[in-house]
Structure 1
């Protein structure tokens, strides 16, 4: 099974991997959960165009947008202690394509 549940191209695949890496290193989630969150965000969409609109934002924007209910401040110095994460996808959903460890 592919890592992502939607069609991608090299450019969007690279961005998605960067989003996942940001969530792992900066938000402290497992790779499996980060991939599941990315899959939930864009499931059912076709991201196989090298000019896809999602490429107009960087991984930090997408990681925060996908992970948190609301992003009240975009500064890299923003205190995220009170920010509320979205619940992860249900464990039995199709979004989990990477084995949890």
Structure 2
């Protein structure tokens, strides 16, 4: 496993695809730039070690983790991907600050 250009952790090909899917979910669901989605992932997981795919975290779909990286928990839970969920009541976590090492892609 090797560190990738975009992510700050060593990932095999399967886990790289899994994390890219997590970033894709944030871009599609929340309308944020890919650079921000990758920075949110890096802030949360930099320095952590992952097993080859499927790591234990793969017991959840990438969108589950995407919601947790984008929203703060509300009453101890996160919103789900039900299209009828009103996301306006959920507090968005701030993106990593500009200049943070989490930003590996051009904004």
TM-score normalised by length of structure 2: 0.85
Matched, 1:74 2:80: yes
Once the two structures are superposed, residues 42-62 of structure 1 have per-residue CA deviations (whole angstroms, 9 ceiling, x without a partner) of 111012522311111111101
- Greater shift after overlay, 64-73 or 9-18? 64-73
C-alpha distance in 2 between matches for 1:90 and 1:75:
27
Give the count of matched residue pairs: 100
Answer 1 or 2: higher relative contact order, Cα 8 Å, separation at least 6: 1
Matched, 1:20 2:17: no
SS of alignment partner, residue 81 of structure 1: helix
Q: Quick check: 1:7–1:48 contact (8 Å CA) kept in 2? A: no
1:21–1:75 CA distance, 2 compared to 1 (3 A):
closer
1:79–1:11 CA distance, 2 compared to 1 (3 A):
same
> Where do 5+ consecutive residues of structure 1 fail to align?
none
C-alpha distance in 1 between matches for 2:20 and 2:54:
17
Equivalent residue, structure 2, for 1:92: 99
C-alpha distance in 2 between matches for 1:94 and 1:57:
27
Query: Alignment RMSD, CA only?
Result: 1.5
CA drift of 1:72 comes to 4.1
